[in-house]
């Protein structure tokens, strides 16, 4: 019942409310002035029987009407401008970093819509601030961990009380952690660049299936080391009009992610086919898979489903994939089941007409 009443609550436009306010002020002023004039006549202050009384009475009524009009307008305007005053106070709090403020709606359409947009904006800013705080915290943690390892093992080597086997082990760890820092720095810079990019200007026509084959070959040492079987089924001669280096990062990150989460001796299936005016890419692994909670966060910055950090990574690869796909006006979807592996499907517009030329 409350919902019905809320839906039927009267709303008027700003123009109508201003006209109504002016009319109400005029009406109340005239009625009040007439009532006061009547009372003055009754008590004998105004004598309408004398020759000068009509002019005097009119003058008094005019003055009283103006005075009452000002008083009534002041009183009514306070209520009329209250939503705007509340908005100004709320804006001041938001500018100071308080994102908990909310403003109430109004019976005026425009002010009610403004209040709704303001509340939505504050919620968005609150979410952005939360993401920023999480990003800084996670970023600091991801950088601090390898730096601490490098510093610790370097001090052990500096002490000199280690045998050749331990020395080689410590040096390997230092190299690995250094490479991890380089990889993290590169991903952060790439992500920063992509987030500040709105339009891709440098586009070329190139062979997409060949690009994916090169990405597979580039990561061959990793999947060979884990003795993975890579089943490749790519449709030949699929050309795309896009930013080659940017799109290349999609395939590298998805393939690297699949290799990382697939157990030794596992299988990775890679497919590419033409679907109308889009190129469809599918990569499937039979690794550890993900639960629903992990799937809902995998594209978040620094999020890692493996909270133990036993698998190398920094939680930025899939974030990059998502951002690049959206920037290319494509889509990405994920299907996964815990313990049975994951499937990622990316669809990108070819950007070409039926004759294979770039689409203007």
pLDDT at 52: 53
Give burial (CB, 10 Å; 0-12/13-18/19+) of 153.
buried
Q: Tell me: the pLDDT tens digits for 144-190?
A: 777 888 888 888 888 877 788 888 888 888 887 887 787 777 767 76
Mean pLDDT of 286-300: 78
Rounded-to-integer distance, Cα 335 and Cα 82, Å: 51
Is the domain 131-195 a CATH 3.40.605.10 member? no
Mean pLDDT of 75-101: 75
Cβ proximity of 157 and 171 under 8 Å: yes
Q: How many Cβ atoms sit within 10 Å of the Cβ of residue 219?
A: 17
Please report which confidence band the pLDDT of residue 312 belongs to, taking 50, 70 and 90 as the band edges: very low
Q: For residue 357, what is the DSSP state?
A: P
Please report which confidence band the pLDDT of residue 31 belongs to, taking 50, 70 and 90 as the band edges: confident
> What percentage of the chain exceeds 90 in pLDDT?
13
pLDDT at 3 over 60: no
In the numeric block, the tokens 């970093």 are attached to 97
Closest by CA to 271, choosing from 319, 322, 234, is 234
Q: For residue 286, what is the DSSP state?
A: -
Cβ proximity of 122 and 102 under 8 Å: yes
DSSP state letters, 226-251: TT-EEEEEE-S--EEEE-HHHHHHHH
Residues of the chain with CATH 3.30.565.10: 204-349
In the chain, count H helices and then E strands.
Answer: 10, 7
pLDDT at 283: 93
Please report which confidence band the pLDDT of residue 16 belongs to, taking 50, 70 and 90 as the band edges: low
pLDDT at 233: 93
Cβ proximity of 331 and 319 under 8 Å: no
Is the domain 204-349 a CATH 3.30.565.10 member? yes
In the numeric block, the tokens 């987030």 are attached to 195
Cβ proximity of 243 and 202 under 8 Å: yes
Instruction: Tell which phi-psi region holds residue 197, choosing left (phi > 0), alpha (psi between -120 and 50) or beta.
Output: beta
pLDDT at 4 over 50: no
pLDDT at 345: 94
pLDDT at 209 over 50: yes
pLDDT at 97 over 70: yes
In the numeric block, the tokens 């550890």 are attached to 288
What's the chain's average pLDDT? Answer: 76
Rounded-to-integer distance, Cα 114 and Cα 100, Å: 17
35: number of CA atoms within 13 Å, CB side? 7
Specify the pairing of strand 267-275 against strand 229-234.
Answer: parallel
pLDDT at 135: 61
Please report which confidence band the pLDDT of residue 139 belongs to, taking 50, 70 and 90 as the band edges: low
Q: Tell me: the pLDDT tens digits for 40-82?
A: 667 766 555 555 556 666 666 677 667 766 776 666 666 666 7
Sequence-distant (≥ 6) Cβ neighbours of residue 48 within 8 angstroms? 41, 54, 57
pLDDT at 292 over 60: yes
Q: Whole-prediction pTM value?
A: 0.54
Cβ proximity of 284 and 341 under 8 Å: yes
Enclosing H/E stretch for 345? strand 341-349
Q: Tell me: the pLDDT tens digits for 325-349?
A: 888 889 999 988 888 889 999 999 9
Beta-ladder partners of 231:
269
Q: Tell me: the pLDDT tens digits for 215-253?
A: 999 888 888 888 999 999 998 889 998 888 888 888 988
Residues of the chain with CATH 1.10.287.130: 131-195
pLDDT at 347: 93
Packing angle of the helix pair 53-95, 14-42 (nearest 10 deg): 140
Q: How many Cβ atoms sit within 10 Å of the Cβ of residue 196?
A: 7
């Amino acid at each position: 019942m409350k919902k019905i009443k809320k839906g039927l609550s009267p709303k008027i436009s700003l123009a109508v409310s201003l006209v109504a306010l002016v009319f109400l002020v005029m009406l109340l002023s005239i009625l009040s002035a007439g009532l006061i004039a009547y009372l003055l006549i009754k008590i004998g202050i105004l004598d309408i029987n004398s020759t000068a009384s009509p002019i005097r009475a009119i003058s008094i009524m005019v003055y009283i009407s103006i005075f009452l009009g000002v008083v009534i307008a002041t009183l009514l305007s306070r209520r009329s401008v209250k939503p705007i005053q509340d908005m100004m106070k709320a804006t001041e709090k938001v500018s100071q970093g308080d994102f908990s403020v909310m403003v109430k709606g109004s019976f005026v359409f425009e002010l009610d819509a403004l209040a709704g947009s303001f509340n939505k904006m504050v919620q968005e800013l609150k979410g952005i601030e939360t993401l920023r705080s999480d990003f800084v915290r996670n970023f600091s943690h991801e950088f601090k961990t390898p730096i601490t390892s490098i510093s610790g093992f370097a001090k052990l080597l500096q002490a000199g009380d280690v045998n050749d086997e331990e020395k080689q082990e410590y040096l390997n760890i230092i190299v690995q952690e250094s490479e991890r820092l380089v990889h993290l720095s590169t991903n952060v810079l790439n992500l920063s660049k992509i987030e500040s990019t709105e339009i891709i200007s440098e586009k070329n026509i190139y062979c997409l299936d060949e690009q994916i084959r090169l990405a597979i070959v580039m990561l061959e040492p990793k999947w060979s080391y884990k003795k993975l079987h890579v089943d490749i089924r790519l449709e030949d001669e699929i050309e795309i009009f896009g930013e080659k280096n940017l799109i290349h990062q999609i395939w590298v990150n998805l393939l690297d992610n699949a290799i990382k989460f697939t157990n030794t001796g596992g299988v990775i299936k890679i497919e590419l086919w033409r679907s109308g005016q889009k190129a469809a890419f599918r990569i499937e692994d039979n690794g550890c898979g993900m639960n629903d909670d992990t799937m809902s966060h995998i594209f978040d910055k620094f999020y890692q489903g493996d909270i133990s950090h036993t698998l190398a990574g920094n939680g930025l690869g899939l974030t990059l994939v998502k951002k690049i796909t959206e920037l290319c006006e494509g889509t990405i979807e994920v299907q996964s089941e815990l313990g049975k592996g994951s499937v990622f499907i990316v669809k990108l517009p070819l950007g070409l007409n039926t004759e294979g030329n770039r689409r203007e």
